[in-house]
Amino acid sequence: MNKKVKKELFNGLADWIIDKEPNYPSFGECKLWIKKQNSQYVISKNDEKEILMFLTYLPMSQKMNSVLYAKYLEQIHSK
What is the identity of the amino acid at 32? L
Residue 68 burial (C-beta neighbours within 10 Å; 0-12, 13-18, 19+): exposed
DSSP for 16-60 reads HHHHTTTSPPPHHHHHHHHHHH-TTPPPPHHHHHHHHHHHHHHHH
What pLDDT tens digit does each residue of the chain (79 aa) get? 588 999 999 999 999 999 998 899 999 999 999 999 999 999 999 999 999 999 999 988 888 888 888 888 877 777 6
User: How many Å apart are CA 66 and CA 60, to the nearest integer?
Assistant: 10
Give SS3 for 72: helix
